[in-house]
Structure 1
């Protein structure tokens, strides 16, 4: 049991470093927080957490090895992920300034609001189609989980990784929507939105060129 807890702590620390580093998940949460506000960013964060379950599921049954060792399949996933990131980037790059009335109120309203369900799917697809996450979970589960690891422990690891990911990005969404940060963003927040669009384009290009 001590070994299980040691492995869990190691997995938790490695995972924290992974989610804290800038990537597609970070970019889409920042973008939706700036463009649509806290509620939509929270839905996006929950979607990202649910997307983790895809990687956990195929890692547990060993499909991550198949994906990694089948070039055409891995490349297909990479292209799908890149196409989706480009789609999100185009929307972010089309961001415009606030209207004078909303600018005076310190609100960022650059485009019509979207539904929570759509935001959840955005987060889910952004994470679920990320082939870099495939490699991350492949290495993580290979290092700490084998065929002899009991299924409840595997499921426990997966549940933690999903919940921790969602909680981290929900926390980020909250920070970005606090009054002090909102005032800092102010009427120029669309530039941050556009910056996230550029970042998403860069990540898409990295997926294709890699």
Structure 2
């Protein structure tokens, strides 16, 4: 819940800051899809190169059991602070969200975008937290790390190409 709340904060900040940037620096918004495409392309390339690197030195160990119990509030705060204070998260969200926003976006669209990102983050991190606590799922993720990296890299590169196309259409 904390990670999803921080993603909601990022989405709100970027969605409404993009409107100000469109007003005050309209030329920047023409170049933003290009910057976003470069960022996502870089991330996609990193995933693919990580998948192709030899993983012989990596030994898969079972995840350690947590000895200390945390309260729900402490868990929320840890997740929120971890993501909200991550400067790379703002760069990522600004490049992706502001790069994909139409030049004129109504308030309902922005609120729907915030709700969508929050809901997707809540579902994803909820699922991931649940799955990682099941030994069979955790072991499967560790065994299929390379395939997951390849899939993620391809998806990121596809989004980068779509943003390049959008940037070309804006020019």
Preserved contact between residue 21 and residue 29 of structure 2 (Cα < 8 Å): no
Of 157-166 and 176-185, deviating more is 157-166
2:44 pairs with 1:89: yes
TM-score (norm 1): 0.49
Separation of aligned partners in 1, 2:155 and 2:59: 26
Residues 2-43 of structure 1 deviation map (CA, whole Å, 9 limit, x = unaligned)? xxxxxxxxxxxxxxxxxxxxxxxxxxxxxxxxxxxxxxxx86
2:95 pairs with 1:138: no
Separation of aligned partners in 2, 1:133 and 1:176: 31
Measured after TM superposition, the shift of residue 201 of structure 1 is 0.9
TM-score (norm 2): 0.58
Preserved contact between residue 50 and residue 124 of structure 1 (Cα < 8 Å): no
> Where in structure 2 are there 5+ consecutive unaligned residues?
64-81, 167-171
Which of these residues, 149, 154, 162, is aligned with residue 193 of structure 1? 149
Higher RCO, 1 vs 2 (CA within 8 Å, ≥6 residues apart): 2
Aligned position for 2:76: none
Equivalences for residues 48-59 of structure 1 within 5 A: 48-58=7-17
Equivalences for residues 38-187 of structure 1 within 5 A: 48-58=7-17, 62-63=19-20, 66=23, 70=26, 72-95=27-50, 96=53, 98-99=55-56, 102-103=59-60, 105=61, 120-130=86-96, 131=98, 133-135=100-102, 138-139=105-106, 141=107, 164=119, 166-175=121-130, 177-179=132-134, 180-187=136-143
Aligned residues: 143
Measured after TM superposition, the shift of residue 202 of structure 1 is 1.0
